[in-house]
Amino acid sequence: MQLIRKLLFPISLLYGLIVFFRNRLYDMGVFSSKTFAVKTICVGNLSVGGTGKTPMIELLVRELGESFRVAILSRGYKRKTKGFLLAGNHTSVEELGDEPFQLKKKFPKVVVAVDADRRNGINQLMTDIDPDVILLDDAFQHRKVKPGFSILLTAYDNLYVNDWYLPTGDLRDFKGEANRADIIVITKCPADLSNSDKSTILLQLAPKHYQKVFFSYLDYNRDLKGVEMPLESLKTKNVTLVTGIANPTPLEMFLKSSGITFEHLKFNDHHFFTDAEIEDLKKKETILTTEKDYVRLKSKIPNLHYIEVKHEFLYYGKEALRQELLQFMTKNS
C-alpha cells in the first residue's frame, strides 16, 4: 500500500495545486464565503480523518450546553438520505449517518441536523430552531461558510506540517489553510508529553500570533457500555475488537497496555455492516467496539460492548479553551 502511495506522488502534486488555487479563489472573493448572524464554531482538520472530531464536538456540547442553545450541523457522511434532515426521537442511523446519530443519542436535548449544503443547513436551523450557536462538524474545508470561530485538529503522530497531499499522504486541504484556525489542538498526544516535545511541536507548527495551541490525549472509559462491565473483565474472555474508524491504533495501544488480548477485525471508516458480516460477528464470544461502530451494530449482536473516549487536555488547556469559548460567545457579533 505504501509503495502504491509513493507511485501516485505526481497525482498528489496535482491535487495539492488544485486545493491551493481553490482556496486562493475564495481568498480573492472569486468564490464567496458567507457569514451568518448566528454564532458558528467550526471543528475540522486538514486530513481525511482520525483526529478526534466527534469527541471534540462532544466536549464543546458539554462546555456550552448548559448556558447556550446549541445545535450541531453535520454532513451526515454515508447516510441514506439527501438534503436537510433534523434528527428526531425515531430517526435512524441510516438516515442520519453514524456520527450525528451517536451525538443525538448521547445528547438527546441538543438539536442535531445533517445537510451536505452547510449554508442551507445553517439557514434552516436559524429559521426552525434559532440556536445561540451552531457547531459545524468536519467543516474546516467547506469555504462556502465563513465560521465565527475555528478549531483545527491535528494528530500528534501525523501533524499536518509533516503530512502530504492525497493520495500519497492524508491531506485533503492545503497546509497553509491552518492559518484560518483560531485554535489548533494537537490530539492523541502521550498523556506524559514532555515540555521539550511540546516545544518541538510548537516550533514545527509555527502558529500565528492570534492562534492558541492546545495539547490533548485520548481518555478511555474503563467502564464499558452497551452490555456494561469493567474493562478488566475482558482479560478472562476471548475478545474480538471490531472497528470501522479512520485510525484505530490508539485504541489498540490502550487495550494492549491494559493487558487485554484480542483479535482485531478492521473495517473502513463509517462501514455499514452486511448481513453476512453480522452473522459472522454473532459467532464471536465477546465483541468490543467503538461508540461510533456501536450505533450501527447494537440490537444486531448479543454480548456487544463499546468503549467511550473523550479528550483530556495537558498544560491546563481545558481551562484555557473554556475561556476562549466564553469570550467568543459573549462578544458582540
Domain match, 47 and 161 both: yes
Domain match, 208 and 158 both: yes
Domain match, 183 and 283 both: no
Domain match, 236 and 302 both: yes
pLDDT digits (tens, 9 = 90+) for 248-307: 999 999 999 999 999 999 999 989 899 999 999 999 999 999 999 999 999 899 889 999
Residue 65 dihedral angles phi and psi, to the nearest 5°: -65, -25
DSSP string, 274-292: PHHHHHHHHTSSEEEEEHH
- Paired strand residues for 30: none
Domain match, 48 and 190 both: yes
30 annotated to bind ligand: no
82 annotated to bind ligand: no
309 or 78, which is more confident: 309
How far is the C-alpha of 162 from the C-alpha of 176, rounded, in Å?
Answer: 12
48 annotated to bind ligand: yes
Residue 89 lies inside a defined structural domain of this protein? no
DSSP state of 246: S
Domain match, 213 and 252 both: no
Percent of the chain with pLDDT over 70: 99
54 annotated to bind ligand: yes
pLDDT digits (tens, 9 = 90+) for 18-76: 999 999 999 999 999 999 999 999 999 999 978 999 999 999 999 999 999 999 999 99
Domain match, 26 and 158 both: yes
Residue 59 dihedral angles phi and psi, to the nearest 5°: -60, -45
What is the bridge-based pairing of β-strands 212-220 and 183-187?
Answer: parallel
What's the number of domains the chain is made of?
Answer: 2
How far is the C-alpha of 122 from the C-alpha of 146, rounded, in Å?
Answer: 12
Domain match, 319 and 299 both: no
317 annotated to bind ligand: no
Domain match, 29 and 176 both: yes
Residue 96 lies inside a defined structural domain of this protein? no
176 annotated to bind ligand: no
Domain match, 144 and 237 both: no
Domain match, 208 and 249 both: no
Taking the mean position of all CA atoms in its chain, how far away is CA 2?
A: 25
pLDDT digits (tens, 9 = 90+) for 212-240: 999 999 999 999 999 999 999 999 999 99
51 annotated to bind ligand: yes
Residue 92 lies inside a defined structural domain of this protein? no
Instruction: Give the pLDDT score at 1.
Output: 58
- Over range 118-136, report the average pLDDT: 98
53 annotated to bind ligand: yes
Q: Which domain holds residue 281?
A: 222-307
CATH of the domain at 243: 3.40.50
Domain match, 173 and 193 both: yes
